[in-house]
A and B are shown apart, each in its own frame.
Chain A
Amino acid sequence: MATERDELTGAETTGHEWDGLKELNNPLPRWWLYILYASIVASVIYSFFVPPIPGVMGVFETTRAVVRQDIELARDAQSANLERIRLASLQEIRDDASLRDFVYSGGSSVFAENCAPCHGPGGAGVPGYPALVDDVWLWGGTLGDIHDTIAYGVRSDDPDTRWSEMIAFGRDDVLNHSEIEDVSHYVLSLSDTDNDREAALRGEVIYAENCATCHGDAGEGDDLLGAPALNDHLWLYGGTLDEVISQVDNPKHGVMPAWHERLDDTTIKMLSVYVHTLGGGQ
């Protein structure tokens, strides 16, 4: 077909006209075209390196193999430290100043992902989920205790889990309502929290008969049973009269998952030392 040329530039036009406007039919820039052709050639070559064709092995690995190698490489870079942690006892790791930074940064990042949603940022604790920054422990605060709590959990589905159960004194009709109220006043008196003196006196006997086996004669708690101390001002489930009554009536029981299947041994060791250093490891 006849091509029309623009008078001013001498370039070909597309031959269309809209309201007197015409479009120049300039060629695409050369550099742009060449890049396009080069990418077409590259894609053909690339398809042989990462073959989409079954049965043809490529030069490049699958992403799944690459991720395994990436992780192995990263582990290799840390291998000196990781190997020392693997071989050392918890106490040795705790005492080794040259491992401190490594254990702290490793421990804190695993903690933020896995533990903080329950124990609060930095282990500060939320109601029902104990603070790990203080020196009060339900299940013991030695390195070994902390390690076992993390590895096997509390009331988890692991066969080695820590386990105990407070009797449901109200629900199971062991104590009647006024007895529960009296003993709760006595519990509050252990930590000098506001209470009714007379009720607390009546509660003392009930406490000695029903509660002291687990919570101790003076309410000091028992970390073999995970029974919290009742003579301090730290409460897992709250320290108002109503909250104490509710716990005696129909107790709550904290559940923490076991971690030894989700996290490897070295990581759990690092976490144990990290938690121990947070505040009050024994």
Chain B
Amino acid sequence: MFKHHHFVERNLTLMSVLILITISIGGLVEIIPLYLVRSTIEVVEGVRPYSPLEMRGRDIYIREGCYTCHSQQIRPFRDEVERYGHYSLAAESMYDHPFQWGSKRTGPDLARVGGKYSNEWQVAHLIDPRGVVPESIMPPYSFLAERPLQTDDIFDRMDANIAVGVPYDESMVENAMDDLFVQADPWGDHDGLLARYPKAVVGDLDGDPSRLTEMDALVAYLQILGRMVDFADTAVEDLEAMR
């Protein structure tokens, strides 16, 4: 069969057809199994769309390129699980468009940073990382506390998320503007928000209750990371059966 190399290499049409066949086999081997499994996403309780403020925080996280130094994926290795907590599930990022798994860890993984620190610490750390962690090489983001959060486009952003499959329901869309403000208002009525978005961290997030800043949004986002799934209620066997 090696004798025919010359023939194939000199016959452009034939070579193209053969290349196509080879690549298709490779592709099909990868793709067909995915059609045969029910789902690659675990069925777990608790994962919900981001609240409007958390969603805006996520936008800022992406805008500022935090992912260039931070991953959000705890891999199933002992060292990672012991350090960061339960390995990440596909389900935990099913409403992330795009997901923030990443592979670059100049700083630590952030997949479960929610609740690890207080709001005050997150703000102090973002304003001046070396003020709290002397050896840190993270850049300061103090301007986030000065910049008012852009809010007029919240409905467009909800629509964009719905368009790519995030299940925001009618009441979530209707209340989006209120929810955006009330989450960072220490004196607000949070019942509706918490019914729509359980476990959301509410209150004065950035230390300045008088206005809504980009810092409020980013802290709301960081504080929910990795906290949605209740692992006590999740069967280990189901997670381990996923391939």
Chain A interfacial positions (CB closer than 8 Å to B)? 1, 52-55, 61-68, 70-71, 74, 113-114, 116-118, 120-121, 126, 128-129, 254-257, 262
A74 touching B78 by the CB < 8 A rule? yes
Contact among B78, B117, B131 with A71 in the assembled complex (CB-CB below 8 Å): B78
The smallest C-beta distance from A251 to any residue of chain B, in angstroms, reads 13
Complex formed: what's the CA distance from A129 to B119 in Å?
13
| Chain A proximity of B214: nearest CB distance (Å) | 22
Give the residues in chain B near A65, CB-CB below 8 Å: 240
Q: Indicate whether B198 reaches chain A with its CB closer than 8 angstroms.
A: no
Nearest-CB residue, chain A, relative to B89: A64
Q: A1-B6, A117-B132, A117-B133 are in contact. Are A128 and B120 (CB under 8 A)?
A: yes
**Complex CA–CA separation, A71 to B77 (angstroms):** 9
Chain B residue with minimal CB distance to A127? B131
Residue B121 CB within 8 A of the other chain:
yes
Interface size class of B (residues with CB under 8 A): 20 to 34
Query: Is B83 in contact with chain A by the CB < 8 A criterion?
Result: yes
B residues at A contact (CB < 8 Å): 6, 29, 33, 36-37, 76-78, 81-83, 85, 87, 115-121, 124-125, 131-135, 236, 239-243
- B33–A67 CB distance below 8 A: no
Complex formed: what's the CA distance from A66 to B75 in Å?
12
* A63 to B87 Cα, complex, angstroms: 11
- Which residues on B sit within 8 Å (CB–CB) of A1? 6
List 4 additional A-B contacts (Cβ < 8 Å) besides A61-B240, A63-B77, A118-B118: A64-B242, A68-B240, A71-B78, A254-B120
Partner of A255 from B83, B119, B135 at Cβ < 8 Å: B119
Contact residue among B82, B83, B116, B242 (Cβ-Cβ distance under 8 Å from A257): B116
Give A62 to B238 CA distance when docked, in angstroms. 12
Query: Is B33 touching A70 in the complex (CB atoms < 8 A)?
Result: no
| CB atoms of B36 and A255 under 8 A apart | no
Chain A residues near B242 (CB, 8 Å)?
Answer: 62, 64
> Do the beta carbons of B121 and A64 come within 8 Å of each other?
no
Q: Given contacts A63-B76, A67-B76, A118-B132, are A257 and B115 in contact (CB under 8 A)?
A: yes
